Structure 1
Amino acid sequence: MIRSHVGKPPVSQKIHFQIGDTPKHTISFYRSICYTIILGKLPDTTDYIYGILHSEDYKKRFADNLSKELPRIPCVTKASHFWAFSQAGRDLAELHINYESVEPYAVNFASCELFMNQFEDKDYRVEQMKFGKKGKETDKSTVIYNHKITMTHIPLEAYEYIVNGKPALEWVMERQAVTTHKESGIVNDANDWAIETMNEASYPLKLFQRVITVSLETMKIVKKLPKLDIATSQS
């Protein structure tokens, strides 16, 4: 149990731990949480949760639970790990919230790069992006945007960032397209959104490039996360 008189200066805070059978290696974690509350840094706890949710260890260990119920957030056994997950969560949130302002990844454009500065809005129209081919095999390093634009040298590591069971880049390919609802016949045209809302016909193309950047940076952070060291009773 943690009791704290929030609102008083840190020096006058009274924190009481009812430890009981709590393993000693978890005390540093709870003390860390208490200090976060005392110093008014509750966002650190939110960042910690976001960091944990991106942990590959967490996803593997709790895969069965995650498929059936809301996520359980375990307590790591070291304060240093809490702060590592918290910092990672903060960096990831910053990256994901501001995805539209990151620098588009510098892909190569097959055959058309020299002429793109002369393109008109109609040249950026997308119907459905699709992967290239190497013989009979799908080549994810190449994406055909439309009949004029083909992106090449897309790093395959970018497809490692998975959102709801699918690479973030493949969500972009699916959503930035022209589709027709089978029952209603309503046409959903990503090009309309690009021009009317974003005022940029090339928005779908640049979004794909930006999500490459976001995916690569996300995986850099995720791969540096500490191993998920938690009390046995939580696993």
Structure 2
Amino acid sequence: MVQKDFGAQKKYDNGFKLNELFPLNNVGIVTARDSFVIDSDKETLMNRVKDFYLLDKGELKNKYPIKENSTWKIDDIKIKSKEFNSEYITTISYRLFDQKFIYYNDFFIERPRKETANNFLKAKNLGLTLCKQFKSGDTYQHIFISDKIIESSFVSNKTSEITSIFPLYLYNYSIQTSIEETPERTPNLNVESVNEIADKLGLIFTNEKEITEGTFAPIDILDYIYAVLHSPTYRETYKEFLKIDFPRVPYPIDQKQFWELVALGKQIREIHLLESSEVEDFISSYPVEGTNIVGKPKYEQRNYVVEVDSISNNDTFEPMGRVYINETQYFDNVPQVAWNFYIGGYQPAQKWLKDRKDIELDFDDIMHYNKIIVALTETDRLMKEIDKIY
């Protein structure tokens, strides 16, 4: 029996509901056998699936932690799926900032969610990833972005916070004349809602982004939403409503507010996809050589001495520290805000390392982690900028 602000509810209810704006949406896939059909290394995954066809059931179960159930029998699947096919190897957004390879074959995936997944497998797309409700913590933070199919625990691994994906575009493969040809796509947007946004803004909606003045496109709507859902004020004001259903987003006030929020939403989106050049400008470093094997990650804040004369009234100083991956090796100059930052049910800077316990980080892994630190730090900064506009 949580006390609700009914004045806020009236304002909240005047917004557009995201699962109505995006008619096609569904929860992420469930494999029921992640350890067999998903892997960080493509070659390892391919060899494992090939073994499925080469080894008999006894050898297979001794070599891999693969379990049968009443609807999934190894010998039956061998017969039905016939042979290994490399075309089923694709990438999946498995966890935040953590893409993996998956053998995406209906016979191996418990719940493949084909209707939504098909819009990401063969062509470029974007999807908002949201939880219908949240119960972890007292702050709404259950929003991210993906350009791949997603696993159902992408944003949170809590049963009540299963992740849904909202594709921006829908692809029509039935009229595609060749493999090389890009299939036709249409916005996955409710026409009535889009028309209402267009009327309020005095802009013309186009199915694809144009440079023509006075127009806006699906990507602009997505970026506007992405900015609003990252507003601390929005999250705090409507948190009780966000706990129980997919978000409602207020209609933009005018063109100025809309385009300013679109610009900030775009920045956060590109940072979260690690596409922005910003993430290449590392804050942290990795100064000590060693085994690079992840043990138990820990954060140690460092004490900095700053001369008083060098401090202006406008300066703010973010606590910094070291993220130790083992007893001797660490990422240095990591802002505390990045280490503690939550998205959904995870603290990505911590979870990414914990998921690699006893694994040796290679050069690309080290660079990737440095990018995550920038992404989380910049997200925190941009959220404050959004609140100045929202």
TM-score range, shorter chain: 0.5 to 0.7
Counterpart of 2:357 in structure 1 is: 177
Tell me, yes or no, if structure 1 residue 31 matches structure 2 residue 195: no
Q: What's the secondary structure of 1:153's corresponding residue?
A: strand
Q: What's the secondary structure of 2:248's corresponding residue?
A: coil
TM-score normalized by the length of structure 2: 0.38
Write the distance in 1 (CA, Å) between the matches of 2:235 and 2:227: 12
Q: CA deviation at 1:69?
A: 0.8
Q: CA deviation at 1:64?
A: 1.0
Q: Which runs of 5+ in 2 are unaligned?
A: 1-195, 207-213, 303-318
Counterpart of 1:145 in structure 2 is: 325
Q: CA deviation at 1:60?
A: 0.8
> Deviations for 1:73-99, whole angstroms, at most 9, x for unmatched residues?
111323211111111111111111126
Write the distance in 2 (CA, Å) between the matches of 1:55 and 1:70: 16
Q: What's the secondary structure of 1:157's corresponding residue?
A: helix
Write the distance in 2 (CA, Å) between the matches of 1:148 and 1:75: 52
Q: Which is helix-richer, 1 or 2?
A: 1
Counterpart of 1:103 in structure 2 is: 280
Counterpart of 1:126 in structure 2 is: 294
Q: CA deviation at 1:28?
A: 9.1
Whether contact under 8 Å (1:143, 1:151) holds in the other structure is: yes
Whether contact under 8 Å (1:28, 1:77) holds in the other structure is: no
Write the distance in 2 (CA, Å) between the matches of 1:57 and 1:89: 15
Tell me, yes or no, if structure 1 residue 212 matches structure 2 residue 344: no
Once superposed, which parts of structure 1, at least 4 consecutive aligned residues long, lie more than 4 Å away? Answer: 226-229
Residue among 78, 98, 110 paired with 2:254: 78
The more displaced of 164-173 and 32-41 is 32-41
- The change in CA–CA distance for 1:67 and 1:33 in structure 2 (over 3 A counts) is farther
Residue among 237, 240, 247 paired with 1:61: 237
Counterpart of 2:24 in structure 1 is: none
Tell me, yes or no, if structure 1 residue 50 matches structure 2 residue 232: no
- The change in CA–CA distance for 1:99 and 1:147 in structure 2 (over 3 A counts) is farther
Q: CA deviation at 1:142?
A: 2.1
- The change in CA–CA distance for 1:28 and 1:171 in structure 2 (over 3 A counts) is same
- The change in CA–CA distance for 1:75 and 1:130 in structure 2 (over 3 A counts) is same
Counterpart of 2:315 in structure 1 is: none
> Deviations for 1:171-216, whole angstroms, at most 9, x for unmatched residues?
32332324xxxxxxxxxxx54xx6xxxxxx2444333221111112
TM-score normalized by the length of structure 1: 0.60
Q: What's the secondary structure of 1:163's corresponding residue?
A: coil
Larger RCO, structures 1/2 (Cα 8 Å, 6+ apart): 1
Whether contact under 8 Å (1:29, 1:79) holds in the other structure is: no
Counterpart of 1:168 in structure 2 is: 348
Q: CA deviation at 1:169?
A: 1.5
Q: Which runs of 5+ in 1 are unaligned?
A: 1-26, 179-189, 195-200, 230-235
> What is the count of residue pairs matched by the alignment?
171
Q: What's the secondary structure of 1:154's corresponding residue?
A: strand
Write the distance in 2 (CA, Å) between the matches of 1:84 and 1:160: 28
Percent identity, aligned pairs only, is: 19
Whether contact under 8 Å (1:145, 1:205) holds in the other structure is: no
Q: What's the secondary structure of 1:152's corresponding residue?
A: strand
Whether contact under 8 Å (1:127, 1:146) holds in the other structure is: yes
Write the distance in 2 (CA, Å) between the matches of 1:92 and 1:71: 18
